[in-house]
Amino acid sequence: MNAVPGSVARRPLRVAVVGAGPAGIYTADSLTFERDDILVDVIERLPEPFGLLRFGVAPDHLTIKSAAGSLQQVLDRPGVRLLCNTQVGTDVKVEDLRAAYDAVVYATGADADRSLTIPGEDLPGSTSATAFVKWYNGHPEADAFDLAQTRRAVVVGAGNVALDACRILLKDPGSFTAEMPLPAPVREALRASAVTDVHLLARRGPQDAKFTSKELGELLRLERVATVVDARDLTAPDANGFSPMARRNLKLLEQAAERDPGEQVRRLHLHFHTRPVAIEGNGTVAGVRVEHGPDSTAGLLDADLVLRAVGYRSRPVDGIPHAEETATIPHVDHRVIREGEPSAGEYAVGWAKRGPTGILGRNRSDADDTAQVILDDLDVLLALHPEDPGGLADFTAQR
């Protein structure tokens, strides 16, 4: 490895990447690929790297999970260090980080959840799908789920997280193979699960669902699970105007609606044009009051568990600019905006910058673009500190 051909000898550029999720590690990759004049410290608040790849992607999605292997190779590069258990904003202040590095890249992701803001949302038994996802992935801060008394679950939302939650709740526990990284207590809880019925509530029609066809097909093909969907919800005036994905989804749903549900162990109920208006129960969740269709027909779905899967949200980090309205880090061309101006030496990447949408691969191109802007700024960055700012080595030695 070498400095970029043609470049004059200079001290290395020190970069801190805050957050060891895919966006952060891809940025470290883009910055250090085949060059040794950029040193990157990736700083992570959790004890383990890989962010939502580790704690968000479902354990039965082994192909996606396997991307951790290439991320690990980046972390293993000589110019890249990983510092875990280090929370920026708390353990180390942003201003100290900026003093210790030429550039700081915020890749803090979006692992908090959005709420429904309906009555009863805080009843025991009502929680976020994010909490459920963290639990089945063994997140160190996750609360345990006991499904032994849960027969009916309602999942609110029509994105891939909602489908993940439905699939994990409905899947035959015997089909979680040994290579799937489920923690032992999670395997045990899924084996003891009493779940028979899972209701997915989509507030719009199937053509507007956010979930992707691959994930929908996987859910609809689960063994020993019947799909119940009202064919009237699937009628659309002009399917030709829909996106290819919407048309594929409609086809999959039509096929599922035509299938004889037969005597299956578990049932998936798909409710389109249906929104929750209240979560009801005396001390704990007993049901979800819903409104269906354009005429808002009211109904009550019995439920022991309600999971809202209505999108992720970034948490503000002390010292990092945060736009409350979008819950993202304000930026222009990947450069963070602080007090109305692009801030020299501060960049943002991934969901913390773009908001919580897009698959893993989207972070790859985002990281490349962000790294390119840092490389474009190289001379300016090296001028911010007259000498090598040294990184956080002393700090980590103390820890």
117-142 CB burial, b ≥16 within 10 A, e <16 = ebebbebebbbbbbbbbbbbbbbeeb
CA dist., res. 182 & res. 172, Å (int): 14
- Identity of the residue, 115 or 235, whose beta carbon is nearer to ligand NAP in the bound complex: 115
Minimal CA–CA distance to 360: which of 5, 35, 71, 32?
Answer: 71
- β 13-18/38-43 pair status: parallel
Which residues sit at the interface with ligand NAP, rule CB under 6 A?
61, 116, 156-162, 164, 203-204, 208, 210, 215, 275, 309-312, 356-359
Q: Where are the beta strands (DSSP E) in the chain?
A: 13-18, 38-43, 80-83, 103-106, 112-113, 126-128, 152-156, 197-201, 225-229, 266-271, 274-280, 287-292, 297-302, 305-308, 312-313, 331-332, 335-338, 341-348
- Identity of the residue, 287 or 345, whose beta carbon is nearer to ligand NAP in the bound complex: 287
- Identity of the residue, 94 or 306, whose beta carbon is nearer to ligand NAP in the bound complex: 306
- β 266-271/197-201 pair status: parallel
- Identity of the residue, 245 or 375, whose beta carbon is nearer to ligand NAP in the bound complex: 245
Smallest separation (angstroms) from ligand NAP to the CB of 240: 21
Smallest separation (angstroms) from ligand NAP to the CB of 278: 12
- Identity of the residue, 241 or 358, whose beta carbon is nearer to ligand NAP in the bound complex: 358
> How many residues in total does the chain contain?
399
Smallest separation (angstroms) from ligand NAP to the CB of 195: 20
Smallest separation (angstroms) from ligand NAP to the CB of 233: 14
- Identity of the residue, 30 or 130, whose beta carbon is nearer to ligand NAP in the bound complex: 130
Smallest separation (angstroms) from ligand NAP to the CB of 167: 9
User: Looking at beta carbons, which residue is closest to ligand NAP?
Assistant: 159
Smallest separation (angstroms) from ligand NAP to the CB of 6: 40
Using DSSP, state whether 179 is helix, strand or coil. coil
